[in-house]
Structure 1
């Protein structure tokens, strides 16, 4: 790989970063929205460095000379003591793999497979001092909340304010490993997709939709008779559900 090719790789990497952040919201499949400015900055730097590198080599070549550092090693390389330091190692072409991933493959966000296997559920932390916000009454209409809030309330709220309160949740479908209903799930990430954990509710009274499809469900929490034993199995009674296309952010 010569230096012009190296510069081209830098330009393509930068273009991939800018494409995923400026032209689309593809970056949200992998990191939190807060990282967008940093990705844009990194993309600009890579493009500028690549263009400068290509321009410098083209200018030298147009003048009929070699890149400056080539002269320092010509005699050494021809004597059999080394290699041409004007060229990068061939393995550097592997840097194009992220470009291919973004422009050609465009990996989707984590979904049902990760929720079933790779992203372990965790017991949520206790609510901050002051407790949970008031849910109001069913007369106020269904309360829309994220799955992580629902799971935290179901797991830690000693007052069990969720009991009988109609809520709306949005997530994707995850099959139950034993066929006993299905899960509505959402992945929660602190930084990036690699640290995502799953929040989910178990639905048993409705026909299972296709895996990985997105739905908004309205209904109520099935309050357990005793203490909840498994953070993954909050049960939910559905009164209404509708499919959702292209959720704005796949993660919470």
Structure 2
């Protein structure tokens, strides 16, 4: 399929960098903007066998559409980086089942990346090439994590109760000190930040989210904070932004 057809299938905002920070490029898109690209990906057989198998395992039609939209967009952006066709992008999987991109057809190092979606919104981060698999410096997802979240219709009391299951004591103290009107946004930033950090670490919440300690009182859009990890000798940087009204986007990067 021609590059012109792909460009026609993908509106401008989904092709443009939304934010750039510390060498990372962030992209945002809405599902409605990715539908035509997803159809093109399916018609042109962009996905590799592992992606097709993952797609087949998803029972919900809505979730299958989300997966296809996200992976079509990912492949389009990676193909642009690797100067190849989207179907030539090759993904591999770490021991933790985290996908990462292999070098391009001409041997170009692929960027590190991570992808998230929620409620019809998608976020993707691209970073410098990751260390090759099998080397001591290799990190699943290139040490990057992104998460996008939107508030639900839940009371402040219920959110404080839910936070007991994943928040550190100092984070809980912060939530309980806030007026009810501020709890939803603070809760969302905590959840989104921890999710992004867990993804960057490549272990998900196998590493207890209570041990990912965020400075909840110092959340500022676009500002970086160094995350404290209890029991782990690693440093992670976290950035967060408010998006699409009351949504929150978090990006995390393992520093060492």
TM tier, smaller: under 0.3
Bigger strand fraction: 2
Q: Which has the larger radius of gyration?
A: 1
TM-score by length of 1: 0.23
Higher relative contact order (CA 8 A, sep 6+): 1
